[in-house]
């Protein structure tokens, strides 16, 4: 359990993190973690009616929120501090004794949600799933979080209960309370609420391999007015505890940390190639992705890929100026300090990280960034931004000439 007292706040977030998600699944169970998350909204043994269960949560000022990721899932209720005891009690019901009722109703809901990933012809067009499947073709980190339609159609209540028993034990979970509360009272309330939770076992993590077998390509056809693009660079350096991670964090901010950053300035302000572009890091305990994404008219796709690759290539060729580096370091520190005003961000920082490693404190995070200089940035950029690490995924109208142009651009990349 992690408690994060923030006495200046007038709200409390109660969050349960669990090591359950698509990376722990097999082909037969792919999508079951997400399906189970939905089933936990269906009420508890004490309140088996979903309406009554959610009415009780909302009566104390909260709303149940949940999400399933590739390496963890979370469940959250945010309330006023005076409602914390009641919220903890209701929260505990979810993990002590879920009802798992109404599976056919929830199956229809999940199948409706999954339609967002397909076009009108039934073709998969979710670029996140397409790109990650190509980047990690032999590892569950590359699988869809929601799983294949065939799996969702056949999951049974017994499958759900078995998955819950395997992953929702105390050794595989972290309860985090963040915000304005009395720590001793919160700890006592949490112990009462979670009494009877099974110990369970800790889910193992197996790292992906084959990270330097690129470039990889995925072109998916759909009848859209725009083409979507993702460029993914993979590597163990993108794990948050990796020595290279602080440099990669700064490189992501140099590329995309506001409208004056390189990506927006070049792609949008100078060339008008897209309405929006972005860069981000998707990190896990043992690997991660450096992602650049954007959308443009189909005819501009080769140029968009070319210019995005040119931006990251220059980071390995040219020295970042002291002024630009100082700017992104300041903005990082200010963003980190703003986290102290947001109990949800603090819960993710300290509670979510606790699932895998000891969380870094504020001073540690700042010191890791402070030590990074231009030479290290250039060295890490040259090592990570290579076509051996690159996956290119595009979704849009099919055109052989555009695809060939994208491939030629990548061939010329470092």
Using alpha carbons, list the distances in angstroms from residue 61 to 11, 48, 54, 203.
10, 20, 11, 33
Regarding the domain delimited by 2-194, which CATH topology (the fold level of the hierarchy) does it fall under?
Cytochrome Bc1 Complex; Chain A, domain 1 (3.30.830)
Q: Where are the domains of the chain?
A: 2-194, 216-412
Quick check: 148 pLDDT over 90?
yes
Give pLDDT, residue 199.
Answer: 94
Q: Is 76 left (phi over 0), alpha (psi -120 to 50) or beta?
A: beta
Q: Report pTM.
A: 0.95
Give pLDDT, residue 66.
Answer: 98
Quick check: 210 pLDDT over 70?
no
Distance (Å, whole) CA 24 – CA 22 = 5
3.50.50.60, 3.40.190.80, 3.30.830.10, 3.30.390.30: which CATH number matches 216-412? 3.30.830.10
Maximum Cα interatomic distance, the chain, rounded to a whole number of Å: 66
Q: What is the pLDDT of residues 335-374, one digit of tens each?
A: 999 999 999 999 999 999 999 999 999 999 999 999 999 9
Distance (Å, whole) CA 350 – CA 77 = 17
Q: What is the pLDDT of residues 18-36, one digit of tens each?
A: 999 999 999 999 999 999 9
2-194 and 216-412: identical CATH topology: yes
Distance (Å, whole) CA 175 – CA 193 = 11
Give pLDDT, residue 209.
Answer: 79
Give pLDDT, residue 152.
Answer: 98
């Amino acid at each position: 359990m992690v408690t994060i007292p923030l006495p200046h706040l007038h709200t409390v977030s109660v969050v349960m993190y669990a090591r359950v998600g698509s990376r722990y699944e097999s082909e037969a169970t792919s999508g079951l973690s997400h399906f189970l998350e939905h089933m936990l909204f269906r009420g508890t043994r004490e309140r088996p009616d979903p309406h009554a269960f959610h009415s009780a949560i909302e009566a104390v000022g909260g709303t149940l929120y949940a999400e399933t990721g590739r390496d963890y899932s979370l469940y959250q209720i945010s309330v006023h501090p005076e409602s914390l005891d009641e919220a903890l009690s209701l929260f505990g019901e979810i993990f002590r004794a879920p009802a798992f009722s109404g599976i056919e109703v929830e199956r229809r809901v999940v199948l409706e949600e999954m339609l967002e990933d397909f076009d009108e012809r039934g073709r998969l067009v979710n670029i996140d799933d397409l790109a990650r499947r190509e980047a990690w073709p032999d590892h569950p980190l590359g699988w869809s979080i929601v799983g294949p339609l065939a799996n969702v159609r056949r999951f049974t209540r017994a499958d759900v209960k078995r998955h819950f028993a395997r992953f929702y034990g105390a050794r595989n979970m972290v309860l985090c309370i963040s915000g304005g509360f009395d720590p001793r009272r919160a700890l006592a309330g949490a112990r009462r609420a979670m009494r009877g939770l099974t110990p369970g076992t800790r889910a193992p993590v197996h790292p992906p391999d084959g990270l330097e077998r690129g470039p990889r390509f995925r072109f998916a056809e759909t009848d859209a007015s725009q083409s979507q693009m993702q460029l993914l660079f993979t590597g163990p350096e993108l794990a948050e505890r990796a020595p290279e991670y602080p440099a990669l964090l700064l490189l992501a901010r140099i590329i995309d940390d506001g409208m004056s950053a390189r990506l927006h300035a070049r792609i949008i302000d100078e060339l008008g190639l897209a309405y929006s572009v972005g860069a981000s890091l998707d990190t896990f305990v043992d690997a991660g992705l450096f992602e650049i994404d954007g959308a443009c008219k189909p005819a501009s796709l080769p140029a968009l890929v070319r210019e995005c690759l040119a931006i990251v290539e220059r980071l390995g060729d040219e020295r970042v100026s002291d002024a630009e580096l100082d700017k992104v370091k300041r903005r990082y520190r200010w963003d980190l300090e703003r986290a102290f005003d947001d109990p949800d961000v603090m819960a993710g920082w300290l509670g979510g990280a606790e699932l895998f490693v000891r969380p870094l404190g504020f001073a540690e995070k700042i010191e890791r960034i402070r030590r990074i200089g231009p030479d290290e940035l250039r060295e890490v950029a040259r090592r990570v931004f290579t076509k051996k690490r690159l996956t290119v995924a595009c979704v849009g109208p099919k055109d052989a000439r555009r695809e060939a142009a994208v491939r030629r651009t990548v061939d010329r990349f470092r």
